[in-house]
Structure 1
Amino acid sequence: MNFFEQQDRAKRNTTWLVVLLVAAVASLIVVTTVVVVGVLFAFEEVAPAYVQIDSSGNVGMVQVLKLVDWPLIGGIALGIITVVVLGSLFKRLQLNSGGRAVAEALGGRLINVSTNDADEKRILNVVEEMAIASGTPVPPVYVLEDNAINAFAAGHSPQDAVIGITRGCIRLLNRSELQGVVAHEFSHIFHGDMRLNIRLVSMLHGILLIGLIGQMLVRSVRYRAIGRSRNSNDKSVFAMLGLGAAFMLIGYAGTFFGNIIKAAVSRQREFLADASAVQFTRDPSGIAGALRKIGGHAGGSQVEAVNAAEFSHMFFGQGVRTSLSSMMATHPPLPDRIRRLEPSWDGRFPVVQPPSPEQQQAADAPQANAQQGGAGLGGFAPLAAVAAIDAIGQPSAAHLQYAQQTLAALDDELRAAAHDSYSARGLIYGLLLHKDRNVRTEQLRLLEQNAAPEAYRALLRYAEKIDRLDERYRLPLIELALPALKELSASQYPVFKKNLGLLVRADGRVSLMEWALYRIIIHNLEDHAPPATNKQLKQCLPEAGLLLSLLAHAGQDDHEEAQAAYSAAAGTLSVRLPPLVARADASLTKLNQALATLSQLRPLQKPQLLKALARCVEHDGEITVAEAELFRAVADALDCPMPPLLSS
Structure 2
Amino acid sequence: MTFFEQQHQARQETRKLVFLFVLAVIVIVAAVNLVMVLLWTFKFGAYHGVPRQYPRGFFETNTAVTLLLIGGGTLIQTFNLRDGGDAVALMAGGRIVLPATGDLQERRLLNVVEEMALASGIACPKVYLLEREDAINAFAAGYNQNEAVIAVTRGTLNRLTRDELQGVVGHEFSHILNGDMRLNIHLISVLFGIQMIAGLGQQMMDAGRYETDERDDRGPPWQAVLFPAGAMFFAVGYIGVFFGRVIKSAVSRQREFLADASAVQFTRNPDGIGGALRKIGGLTDGKKIGSQINHLNAEQLSHLFLGCARPNFLSGWFATHPPLKDRVKRIYGRSMSLLEAPELVTRSIASKVRLPDLPFTSVSAADLADAAATSIIPPIASGLLAPSQKFGNSSDSGSPLASQLDGAVRDPIAASAVIYALLLGNGAEREGQLTLLKKEAPHQAALITHLAGAIKQLPLSARLPLVDLAAPALRQLSQPERDKLLALVDMLIATDSRITLSEFVLQTVLTRRLAPRSGRLVPIKFNALSELGSDIAVLFSLVAHVAVPASHDDAIAARLAAFLRGVQLCPELKLAAQHYCDGASLSFSRVRLALDNANQLAPLAKPQLVKALLAVADNGAELPIASADILRAICAGIEAPIPPTVAATYHAYPWQFDN
Alignment of 1:517-528 (within 5 A): 517-526=506-515, 527-528=518-519
Structure 1 residue 340 corresponds to structure 2 residue 330: yes
User: Deviation at 1:588?
Assistant: 2.0
Q: Which residue of 1 aligns with 2:451?
A: 462
- Given candidates 96, 110, 122, the residue that maps to 2:82 is 96
Contact 2:105/2:346 (CA < 8 Å) preserved in 1? no
- Given candidates 551, 554, 559, the residue that maps to 2:546 is 554
User: Deviation at 1:393?
Assistant: 4.7
C-alpha separation in 1, matches of 2:189 and 2:122: 26
Deviates more, 1:250-259 or 1:410-419: 410-419
Q: Which residue of 2 aligns with 1:500?
A: 489
CA RMSD of aligned residues (A): 3.0
State the AA in 2 paired with 1:339: K
Structure 1 residue 640 corresponds to structure 2 residue 626: no
Q: Which residue of 2 aligns with 1:174?
A: 161
- Given candidates 288, 295, 310, the residue that maps to 1:305 is 295
User: Identity of paired residues, percent?
Assistant: 37
Q: Which residue of 1 aligns with 2:172?
A: 185
Structure 1 residue 574 corresponds to structure 2 residue 566: no
- Given candidates 520, 523, 528, the residue that maps to 1:532 is 523
Contact 2:275/2:339 (CA < 8 Å) preserved in 1? no
C-alpha separation in 2, matches of 1:555 and 1:592: 19
Secondary structure in structure 1 of the residue aligned to 2:151? strand
State the AA in 1 paired with 2:504: W
Cα deviation per residue 1:459-506 (whole Å; 9 max; x = unaligned)?
Answer: 122121112221101221111111111111344222212111111111
Q: Which residue of 2 aligns with 1:144?
A: 130
Secondary structure in structure 1 of the residue aligned to 2:300? coil
Structure 1 residue 285 corresponds to structure 2 residue 271: yes
C-alpha separation in 2, matches of 1:576 and 1:192: 27
C-alpha separation in 2, matches of 1:259 and 1:646: 41
Deviates more, 1:284-293 or 1:635-644: 635-644
Q: Which residue of 2 aligns with 1:489?
A: 478
Deviates more, 1:535-544 or 1:478-487: 535-544
- Given candidates 235, 246, 249, the residue that maps to 1:249 is 235
Deviates more, 1:333-342 or 1:613-622: 613-622
Contact 2:249/2:317 (CA < 8 Å) preserved in 1? yes
Cα deviation per residue 1:392-430 (whole Å; 9 max; x = unaligned)?
Answer: 653232576314559869834212211111211111111
Cα deviation per residue 1:433-476 (whole Å; 9 max; x = unaligned)?
Answer: 123x10111011111111261x3332122121112221101221
Contact 1:144/1:167 (CA < 8 Å) preserved in 2? yes
User: Deviation at 1:244?
Assistant: 4.0
User: Deviation at 1:206?
Assistant: 0.4
Change (3 A) 1:607 1:43: same
Alignment of 1:153-168 (within 5 A): 153-168=140-155
Contact 2:200/2:230 (CA < 8 Å) preserved in 1? yes
Cα deviation per residue 1:365-387 (whole Å; 9 max; x = unaligned)?
Answer: 2379xxxxxxxxxxxxxxxxxxx
- Given candidates 399, 402, 416, the residue that maps to 1:411 is 402
Contact 1:544/1:577 (CA < 8 Å) preserved in 2? no
Contact 2:44/2:218 (CA < 8 Å) preserved in 1? no
Contact 1:129/1:400 (CA < 8 Å) preserved in 2? no
Deviates more, 1:414-423 or 1:393-402: 393-402
User: Deviation at 1:241?
Assistant: 5.7
C-alpha separation in 2, matches of 1:240 and 1:398: 60
Contact 2:8/2:604 (CA < 8 Å) preserved in 1? yes
Structure 1 residue 116 corresponds to structure 2 residue 99: no
Cα deviation per residue 1:269-317 (whole Å; 9 max; x = unaligned)?
Answer: 1111100111111111111111111222366121222322221111112
User: Deviation at 1:198?
Assistant: 1.1
Contact 1:392/1:641 (CA < 8 Å) preserved in 2? no
C-alpha separation in 2, matches of 1:213 and 1:503: 56
Contact 2:623/2:649 (CA < 8 Å) preserved in 1? no
Contact 1:393/1:641 (CA < 8 Å) preserved in 2? no
State the AA in 1 paired with 2:414: S
Alignment of 1:366-405 (within 5 A): 366=353, 393-397=375-379, 401-404=383-386
Contact 2:509/2:636 (CA < 8 Å) preserved in 1? yes
Secondary structure in structure 1 of the residue aligned to 2:534? helix
State the AA in 1 paired with 2:320: T
Deviates more, 1:229-238 or 1:110-119: 229-238
Contact 1:134/1:399 (CA < 8 Å) preserved in 2? no
Structure 1 residue 315 corresponds to structure 2 residue 305: yes
- Given candidates 560, 565, 577, the residue that maps to 2:562 is 565
Structure 1 residue 426 corresponds to structure 2 residue 423: no
User: Deviation at 1:508?
Assistant: 0.6
Contact 2:197/2:237 (CA < 8 Å) preserved in 1? yes
C-alpha separation in 1, matches of 2:376 and 2:483: 35
Change (3 A) 1:306 1:239: closer
User: Deviation at 1:40?
Assistant: 3.3
C-alpha separation in 1, matches of 2:60 and 2:589: 51
Equivalent pairs counted in the alignment come to 605
Deviates more, 1:392-401 or 1:414-423: 392-401
Structure 1 residue 7 corresponds to structure 2 residue 4: no
Deviates more, 1:535-544 or 1:618-627: 618-627
Structure 1 residue runs without a partner (length 5+) = 54-58, 60-65, 369-389
Contact 2:486/2:510 (CA < 8 Å) preserved in 1? no
Deviates more, 1:239-248 or 1:572-581: 239-248
Cα deviation per residue 1:243-286 (whole Å; 9 max; x = unaligned)?
Answer: 54443332221222222321343222111110011111111111
Change (3 A) 1:243 1:645: same
Give TM-score scaled by structure 2 length: 0.84
C-alpha separation in 1, matches of 2:480 and 2:4: 38
Deviates more, 1:293-302 or 1:183-192: 293-302
Structure 1 residue 609 corresponds to structure 2 residue 600: no
Contact 1:191/1:393 (CA < 8 Å) preserved in 2? no
User: Deviation at 1:324?
Assistant: 3.0
C-alpha separation in 1, matches of 2:477 and 2:253: 37
C-alpha separation in 1, matches of 2:233 and 2:340: 47
Structure 1 residue 107 corresponds to structure 2 residue 119: no
Contact 1:451/1:496 (CA < 8 Å) preserved in 2? no
